[in-house]
């Protein structure tokens, strides 16, 4: 009797796992595609505005250095 009950429960569980896996793969693919789009947009912006990009990076680095330096002192 136990084996029969396991067999009746196993089918829906396996199907549910397959459905969940397929949904996770679709979500991963959408996230990766979106990240690639944003990366390309960022690269285009940096190529069009190199000086502004460098100044922003220097500013962010200085701010982080200041804030982290205050915490450790």
The answer, as to whether pTM is greater than 0.75, is no
User: What pLDDT score was predicted for residue 12?
Assistant: 85
Domain count of the fold of the chain: 1
Q: Residue 64: its pLDDT value, please?
A: 95
- Give DSSP secondary structure letters for the chain: -HHHHHHHHHHHHHHHHHHHHHHHHHHHHHHHHHHHHHHHHHHHHHHH-HHHHHHHHHHHHHHHHHHHHHHH-
Q: What is the pLDDT along the chain (73 residues), one digit of tens a residue?
A: 577 777 788 888 889 999 999 999 999 999 999 999 999 999 999 999 999 999 999 999 999 999 998 876 5
- Domain with 32 in it: 2-72
Instruction: Report pLDDT for 39.
Output: 97
């Amino acid at each position: 009797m136990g084996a029969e009950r396991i067999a009746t429960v196993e089918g829906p569980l396996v199907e549910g796992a397959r459905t969940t896996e397929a949904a996770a793969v679709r979500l991963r693919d959408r996230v990766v595609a979106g990240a690639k789009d944003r990366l390309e947009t960022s690269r285009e912006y940096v190529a069009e505005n190199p000086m502004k990009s460098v100044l922003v990076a220097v500013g962010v680095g200085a701010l982080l250095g200041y804030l982290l330096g205050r915490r450790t002192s």
